[in-house]
Amino acid sequence: MTDDTTWLDATAQFELIRSGEASAKELVEAAIERIEALNPTLNAVIHASFDEARDRPGVPFLLKDVLATEAGRPYHCGLRAARDAGFRATADSWLVERYRTAGFAVLGRTNTPELATTVTTEPLAYGPTRNPWDPERTPGGSSGGSAAAVASGMVAAAHGNDMGGSIRVPAANCGLVGLKPSRGRTSLAPDFGEFWGPITHQHVLTRTVRDCAAILDATAGPAPGDPYAAAPPARPWTAEVATEPGPLRIGYRTTLPDGTAPHPEVTAAVESVARLLDALGHRVREAALPALDDPVLGETVPVMFGSVVARDAARWSTLLGHDVSPDLEPMNATLAELGASITAVQWLAALEAVQSWSRRMAAAWSDHDLVLLPVTPEPPLPLGEMAPDAKDPFELLGDLTRMVSFTIPFNLTGEPAISLPLYRTEAGLPIGVQVVAPMGGEDLLFRLAGQLEQARPWSHHRPPTHLPGPR
- Residues 143, 98: Cα–Cα separation, whole Å: 19
Can you say whether residue 192 is alpha, beta or left, with left for phi > 0 and alpha for psi between -120 and 50 degrees?
beta
Q: Which of 93, 143, 146, 166 is catalytic?
A: 166
Burial 104-141, CB ≥16 within 10 A → b, else e = bbbbbbbbbbbbbbbbbbbbbbbebbbbbbbbebbbbb
Decide: 212 and 247 in contact? Cβ < 8 Å. no
Nearest to 380 by CA among 136, 81, 197, 150: 136
User: Dihedral through CA 221, CA 224, CA 227, CA 229, nearest 10?
Assistant: 20
User: Is 166 marked active-site?
Assistant: yes
Length, in residues, of the chain:
471
Listed in sequence order, the residues at least 6 apart from 312 whose beta carbon sits closer than 8 Å to its beta carbon are 77, 115, 336
- Residues 105, 19: Cα–Cα separation, whole Å: 18
User: Is 142 marked active-site?
Assistant: yes
Decide: 161 and 189 in contact? Cβ < 8 Å. no
Q: How far apart are the first and last CA of the chain?
A: 10
Can you list the alpha helix ranges (DSSP code H) found in 373-461? 393-403, 408-413, 442-455
Sign of CA dihedral 371, 372, 377, 383: positive
Largest CA distance in the chain: 63
- Residues 211, 191: Cα–Cα separation, whole Å: 27
Decide: 213 and 241 in contact? Cβ < 8 Å. yes
Q: Which of 49, 93, 142, 405 is catalytic?
A: 142
| Cis peptide leading into residue 19 (ω within 30°) | no
User: Is 180 marked active-site?
Assistant: no
Identity of residue 255:
T
- Report DSSP state, residue 46: E
- Residues 412, 162: Cα–Cα separation, whole Å: 11
Query: Which residues does the annotation mark as catalytic?
Result: 64, 142, 166
